């Protein structure tokens, strides 16, 4: 919960006046490319992952028109965080500093957002439960390292068209069997696992909700060659195997 709030970005050359709003259900970046919107996840062990999937009010800054709504390069590098007093520090996979988050920012809502949509997020009991520590990986599963995840996986059972492909750069792409999906992922020690996803088409079919599996999971472990995904209470969300 220490990350929830409105923050001024410090140390990010690409966003010298950027404001990052981290709410329980979304991330907003108010910067030189207008307002970027996405999803994010973090755990109490210091893992962090975020993915942008929409934008509004782009101002045509350098690089803004090339990939509207996509992850800025600096945010794509972030894989963890630590706290120095009340100041969150966003770090890359090697532990190097990417950005400092300074409290007290006041984003301007502009014509598309209500003032309530840019106010500091409210911390409710439900939010506290949402950000509570996840259960440990069961001893029957082996923690999975990032290099073991890279590649294409399919559900143990279900249509052959459903799949998830984890890429080495932290992106994942997949399908429930009918609808394309994509997001970001990160793993940590002890089987810690986090993933985000963006919007998807809504074609109805008898598919497998692989995107929901990923975004509801907090732990990932191997049972032999089978990847087992678990939620915060160690309840299984899904099983995947290597694609043939």
The 8-class DSSP code of residue 107 comes to -
- Which pTM does this prediction carry? 0.91
CB–CB of 40/28 below 8 Å?
A: no
The CA-based dihedral angle spanning residues 103, 108, 114, 117, taken in that order and rounded to the nearest 10 degrees:
-30
pLDDT at 163: 96
- Is the pLDDT at 200 greater than 70? The verdict is no
- Is the pLDDT at 56 greater than 80? The verdict is no
- Is the pLDDT at 58 greater than 80? The verdict is no
The 8-class DSSP code of residue 153 comes to E
In which residue ranges of the chain is CATH 2.40.128.270 found? Answer: 142-242
Instruction: Please give the backbone phi and psi of residue 148, each rounded to the nearest 5 degrees, phi first.
Output: -75, -25
Q: In what order do the strands lie in the sheet with 5-10?
A: 48-56, 34-42, 26-31, 19-23, 5-10, 97-103, 87-91, 80-84
- Which range (26-40, 55-69, 189-203, 219-233) has the least confidence? 55-69
pLDDT at 201: 67
Q: Which helix (H) or strand (E) holds 125?
A: helix 125-130
Q: What is the pLDDT of residues 133-165, one digit of tens each?
A: 999 999 999 999 999 999 999 999 887 899 999
pLDDT at 111: 75
- 199 vs 179: CA distance, rounded Å: 10
pLDDT at 34: 85
CATH entry 2.40.128.270 includes domain 142-242: yes
Closest CA to 112 of 19, 175, 37: 37
- 143 vs 138: CA distance, rounded Å: 9
The CA-based dihedral angle spanning residues 101, 102, 103, 109, taken in that order and rounded to the nearest 10 degrees:
-80
Residues 6+ positions from 59 with CB-CB distance below 8 Å? 32, 33, 34
Closest CA to 166 of 242, 103, 70, 107: 242
DSSP string for 192-242: BEEE----------S---HHHHHHT-SEEEEETTEEEEE-TTS-EEEEEEE
Q: Which CATH class is domain 5-130?
A: mainly beta
For the segment 50-63, the average pLDDT, to the nearest whole number, is 70
């Amino acid at each position: 919960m220490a990350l929830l709030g409105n923050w001024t970005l410090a140390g990010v050359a690409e966003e010298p006046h950027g404001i990052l709003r981290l709410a329980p259900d979304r991330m907003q970046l108010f910067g030189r490319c207008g307002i970027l919107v996405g999803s994010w996840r973090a755990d109490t062990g210091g893992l962090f992952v975020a993915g942008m999937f929409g934008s509004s009010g782009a101002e045509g800054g350098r690089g803004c028109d090339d990939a509207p709504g996509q992850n800025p390069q600096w945010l794509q590098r972030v894989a963890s965080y630590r706290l120095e007093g009340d100041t969150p520090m966003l770090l890359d996979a090697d532990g190097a500093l990417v950005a400092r988050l300074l409290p007290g920012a006041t984003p301007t809502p502009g014509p598309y957002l209500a003032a309530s949509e840019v106010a500091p997020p409210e911390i409710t009991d439900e939010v506290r439960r949402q950000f509570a520590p996840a259960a440990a990986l069961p001893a029957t599963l082996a923690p999975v390292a990032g290099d073991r995840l890279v590649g294409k996986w399919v559900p143990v059972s279900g249509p052959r068209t459903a799949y998830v492909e984890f890429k080495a750069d932290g992106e994942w792409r997949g399908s429930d069997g009918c609808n394309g999906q994509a997001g970001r992922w990160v793993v940590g020690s002890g089987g810690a696992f986090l993933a985000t996803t963006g919007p998807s088409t809504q074609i109805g079919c008898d598919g497998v909700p692989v995107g929901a599996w990923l975004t509801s999971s907090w732990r990932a472990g191997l049972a032999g060659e089978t990847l087992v995904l678990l939620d915060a209470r160690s309840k299984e969300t899904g099983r995947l195997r290597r694609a043939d």
